[in-house]
Amino acid sequence: MEIKKAEFVSSFTAESHCPKSGLPEIAFIGRSNVGKSSLINMLTARNGLAKVSGTPGKTQLINFFNINDRWHLVDLPGYGYAKVSKTQQKKLAAMIEGYLFRRSNLLVAFVLIDANVPPSRTDLDFINLLGEHEVPFVLAFTKTDRQKKGVDDSNAEKFLEAMHETWETLPPHFTTSSKTGAGREEILDYIAGILKKKPS
């Protein structure tokens, strides 16, 4: 897939406020500081399309981007961010779950996992929640360029092993690096395939 157009549409506070255009949607979500904005910019080849911040938890709205006038890329708030009030945590959780569980336009959610950290209960619990609600998702392991030589993919493999405890069949997964561009073509080809399968 060639991305010829990638433009910010708007930000929304709830699924019910999101666009009624009917365009298919591909969502991206992960724990705070997983490198989501950097990955979105790498995939679209647009530096600065998604705002990169050194402060975890910066994304607190549902952000829509128009891709090729064909589909929407949806940047969701991060989950598992503890450095906000409990009230704000509940608000963000309701926003995320409202979108993922009720959005009929959603084709698939990319769940981003930091390849440099061991499997976390927060990530596994979130994925299990998606499974319980039958939300289609795939995994994208991020920041693979930071891995030490000789231990490539070890945390990704451990994560997939941990999933086997509750999942009989694992979802597709990709290894990515926003710095080197690794995984870009594979993800875009996967999205193109998903879009082709969608009924007109």
Model confidence pLDDT, tens digit, residues 83-134? 667 888 888 999 999 999 999 999 999 999 999 999 999 999 999 999 999 9
Question: What integer pLDDT is reported at residue 51 of this predicted model?
Answer: 79
148 pLDDT more than 70? no
What pLDDT digit, counting tens, does each position of 15-28 carry?
999 999 899 999 99
> 62 pLDDT band (50/70/90 cuts)?
very high
Task: Give the mean pLDDT of the chain.
Answer: 90
Q: Model-level pTM greater than 0.85?
A: yes
Percent of the chain past pLDDT 70, that is, above it, reads: 90
DSSP the chain: -----EEEEEEESSGGGS--S---EEEEEEBTTSSHHHHHHHHHT-TTSSPP-SSTT---SEEEEEETTTEEEEEPPPB---SS-HHHHHHHHHHHHHHHHH-TTEEEEEEEEETTS---HHHHHHHHHHHHTT--EEEEEE-GGGSPTT-TTHHHHHHHHHHTTT-SSPPPEEE--TTT-TTHHHHHHHHHHHHHHS--
Span 173-194, mean pLDDT? 96
Q: In CATH terms, is domain 6-195 a member of 3.40.50.2300?
A: no
Residue 151 pLDDT greater than 60, yes or no: no
* Mean pLDDT value across residues 64-76: 97
What pLDDT score does 181 carry? 96
